[in-house]
């Protein structure tokens, strides 16, 4: 372990791993800190089909992340498993205080990601990746010509429902209120789409089935009545997509890094409002949250770290 690293990366999802690969390959002394398993959300994804260069016969989140992690090891980044307690990001030397030690660096890349708000029904965790999804862009084609259900009523839910109509036989939006919260233009598109139906004033109570989601209990909040939805016998499965919202993992950085709705604001070079501090991946305010964009964020941030360090060294040398 070094006394002062050139960069510390917080988080080993696709963005953090990508940053560690590029930083290590650029001979930047790097420390990668992750409290749990590598991969973040992608670690629980059973099938990936749209990542460029993946195994064409099929790829899972764990297999993709395993190769990324091996690349990090190959290019020499130091790694520790620890939980961050507090961060001190201002000044020329940044300090990361963890449960098992304190680490210092000239720059920091924040890559702590975000998590989907759970649907909140019984059986949800057991059927993630087996009928329950939180990403239409990732998983829509797995439900081609099948019935799918979208839980939520905001902009994201309606946008994803409209996207799913390109693949699914029918799309039903399940919303706990009697009207959508999405902007009027999205509502108009949803109401005009013949493939979209609605369960109003309703919440999902439970999902179940043999290995995959085959039935679901939906409770009407006003009447208390329970509707049991069953998969078509020929299909043997239907999809349940949760779009209640994301929760960025950024609380540790509040009061230091500029944010909007909990997401860290950066420019196109991944720079935050603090010199030497960069943010990448799902915790960053951005349009598309996918593995490929997370990896791109990480690569850009690592190269910006290299540029920042070079400029800082030149100023020291000539100053």
- What pLDDT digit, counting tens, does each position of 59-114 carry? 888 889 999 999 999 999 999 999 999 999 999 999 999 999 999 999 999 999 99
Q: Which residues of 1-29 are buried (b: 16+ CB within 10 A; e: fewer)?
A: eeeebbbbbbbbbbbbbbbbbbbbbbebb
Residues 62 and 103 in one domain: yes
Residues 276 and 225 in one domain: no
Residues 234 and 132 in one domain: yes
Residues 137 and 237 in one domain: yes
Residue 304 falls in which region: left (phi positive, over 0), alpha (psi -120 to 50) or beta = alpha
Question: Could you tell me the CATH number of the domain that includes residue 181?
Answer: 3.50.50.60
For residue 44, pLDDT over 80 is answered with no
Closest CA to 182 of 156, 149, 151, 150: 156
- For residue 268 the two structure tokens come to 């196109």
For the segment 172-182, the average pLDDT, to the nearest whole number, is: 96
Residue 239 DSSP SS3: strand
Domain boundary, last residue among 242, 268, 299: 242
Residues 87 and 57 in one domain: yes
**pLDDT tens figures, 120-145:** 999 999 999 999 999 887 899 999 99
Kindly indicate the confidence band of residue 46, based on its pLDDT and cuts at 50, 70 and 90.
low
Say how many domains are in the chain: 2
**pLDDT tens figures, 278-291:** 999 999 999 888 89
- For residue 252 the two structure tokens come to 């540790």
DSSP 29: -
pLDDT for the residue 316: 59
What's the whole-number average pLDDT of the chain?
93
Confirm if 285 and 260 have CB atoms less than 8 A apart.
yes
pLDDT for the residue 61: 83
Confirm if 144 and 170 have CB atoms less than 8 A apart.
no
Residues 47 and 96 in one domain: yes
Domain boundary, last residue among 242, 269, 295: 242
Residues 88 and 20 in one domain: yes
Domain boundary, last residue among 184, 219, 242: 242
For residue 255, pLDDT over 80 is answered with yes
* Boundaries of domain holding 37: 5-116+246-318
Residues 96 and 133 in one domain: no
**pLDDT tens figures, 97-106:** 999 999 999 9
In the chain, the DSSP E strands lie at 5-10, 30-34, 78-81, 84-88, 94-98, 102-110, 114-116, 132-133, 147-151, 170-174, 196-199, 202-208, 215-220, 226-230, 239-242, 246-248, 259-260, 263-264, 277-279
Where in the sequence numbering do the catalytic residues fall? 135, 138-139
Residues 141 and 192 in one domain: yes
**pLDDT tens figures, 222-251:** 999 999 999 999 999 999 999 998 899 999
Residues 27 and 94 in one domain: yes
pLDDT for the residue 245: 81
Beta-bridge partner residues of 138: none
Kindly indicate the confidence band of residue 39, based on its pLDDT and cuts at 50, 70 and 90.
confident
Residues 252 and 238 in one domain: no
Residues 146 and 92 in one domain: no
């Amino acid at each position: 372990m070094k006394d002062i690293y050139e960069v510390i990366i917080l988080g080993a999802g696709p963005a953090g791993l990508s940053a560690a690969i590029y930083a290590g390959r650029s001979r930047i002394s790097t420390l990668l800190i992750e409290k749990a398993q590598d991969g973040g959300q992608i670690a629980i994804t059973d099938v990936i089909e749209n990542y460029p260069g993946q195994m064409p016969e099929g790829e899972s989140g764990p297999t993709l992340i395993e190769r990324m992690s091996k690349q990090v090891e190959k290019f020499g980044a130091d790694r520790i498993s620890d939980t961050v307690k507090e961060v001190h990001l201002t000044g020329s030397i940044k300090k990361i205080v963890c449960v098992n030690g304190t680490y210092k660096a000239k720059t920091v890349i924040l890559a702590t990601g975000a998590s989907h708000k759970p649907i909140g029904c019984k059986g949800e965790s057991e059927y993630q990746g087996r009928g329950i999804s939180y990403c239409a862009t990732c998983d829509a084609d797995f439900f081609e010509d099948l019935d799918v259900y979208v839980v939520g009523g905001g902009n994201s839910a309606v946008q994803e429902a409209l996207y799913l109509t390109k693949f699914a036989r029918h799309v039903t939006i399940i919303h706990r209120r009697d009207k959508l919260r999405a902007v009027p233009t999205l509502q108009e598109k949803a109401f005009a789409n013949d493939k979209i139906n609605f369960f109003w004033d309703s919440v999902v109570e439970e999902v179940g089935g043999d290995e995959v989601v085959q039935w679901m209990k939906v409770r009407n909040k006003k009447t208390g009545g329970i509707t049991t939805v069953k998969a078509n016998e020929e299909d043997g499965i239907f999809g349940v997509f949760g779009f209640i919202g994301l929760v960025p993992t950024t609380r540790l950085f509040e009061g230091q890094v500029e944010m909007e709705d909990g997401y860290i604001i950066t420019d196109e070079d991944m720079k935050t409002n603090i010199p030497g501090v960069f943010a990448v991946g799902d915790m960053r305010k951005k349009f598309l949250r996918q593995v490929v964009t997370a990896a791109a964020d990480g690569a850009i941030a690592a190269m910006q770290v290299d540029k920042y360090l070079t400029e800082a060294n030149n100023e020291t040398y000539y100053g």
